A = this chain, B = another copy of it.
Amino acid sequence: MQKEDITQTLAQTVATLADFSSSGMVYAPKHGRIMPSIDALDEIMSNLRSIIFPGYYGKSRINSGNLSYYIGVSVDKTFHLLSEQIARGICFAQIENETSNCELNDKKARDITVEFFKRLPQIREILISDVKSTYNGDPAANSFGAIIYSYPGLKATTNYRIANALLKLKVPLIPRIITEMAHSETGIDINPGAQIGKSFTMDHGTGIVIGETCRIGNFVKLYQGVTLGAKSFPLDKDGNPIKGVARHPIVEDYVVIYAQATILGTVTIGEGSMIGGNVWVTKDVAKNSKILQHAAQDVRFNNGLGI
């Protein structure tokens, strides 16, 4: 192919690609506000990790003399980044409405961000409870540090707790992107709408899925591949799923669910129960039950791995 032909072909391709008119797709909101940025959200999450677990994340050398400086700078930077992304997220949700004044959302976004930062110490506190419960329950973990540095479960929980806090503050879109970042990194898929108590542990983690209307108590432990899903969801008269209906399990305090177990529907797993590996549960489970796999009566307290 001649050089001129290449140039011409590419120009034509560009023209076609630049025409979205018939696609029904939106490449930019009509009100002209810039769209949320994955890169910025990456940076935000990276900053928040370094605020919550200083020394482990972030490049800095932390000590008692400089800790407040580093946290101060990270909070300041992240405040502006997050406030901007929240504003974009809100505008994006008004994407169709050409007349909406997106600039009005800036103040709203700033207020939400302030509120989020006010809650951040509590988020850290509950994440510390997660670190401790993981440490206490895992013979292979020989320090809190090892968990913070390398446990995928804690990473996914960190993203979830931040995303959930933002969702409660009515931030659209952004929370889901944040939990999907952890999904990509860890293979653990937690919907930001789920409710999860303190001292939560996930071991190995790959393949865990936690649905939107799950309610999980305190001191709960999940192993890899556990699904907390919906059994079915009611349809409206047009055959479309009705939104917002509770359809996922309630898992009470001190429950342990071993690897690959599948629990579906609005069932309740009673306090202190143990669900064995690969078990399939679609009915309520009484408190302190031990649901073991068929013939596997010799498999007690088995995590499907036991590392």
Contacts of A56 in B (CB 8 A): 27, 35, 38
Contacts of A65 in B (CB 8 A): 7-8, 10-11, 76
Chain A contact residue count (CB 8 A cutoff): 133
A99–B158 Cα distance when bound, in Å, is 33
Interface residues of A in 199-214 (CB under 8 A from B): 204, 206-207, 209, 211-212
Contact check, A71 vs B152: say whether CB atoms are below 8 A apart: no
Contacts of A128 in B (CB 8 A): 23-25
Shortest Cβ distance from A150 into B: residue = B180
Shortest Cβ distance from A177 into B: residue = B150
Interface residues of A in 260-278 (CB under 8 A from B): 260, 262, 264, 277-278
Contact check, B231 vs A306: say whether CB atoms are below 8 A apart: yes
- Distance (Å) between the CB of A181 and the closest chain B CB? 8
Which of A's residues lie within 8 Å of B, judged by CB?
1, 3, 5-11, 13-18, 20, 23-28, 32, 34-39, 51, 53-57, 59-73, 75-77, 79-80, 92-93, 95, 110-111, 114, 117-118, 120-121, 124-125, 128, 131-132, 139-140, 142-146, 149-152, 172-173, 176-177, 180, 183-187, 189, 191, 204, 206-207, 209, 211-212, 224-225, 227, 229-233, 235, 240-243, 247-248, 259-260, 262, 264, 277-278, 280, 282, 296, 298-307
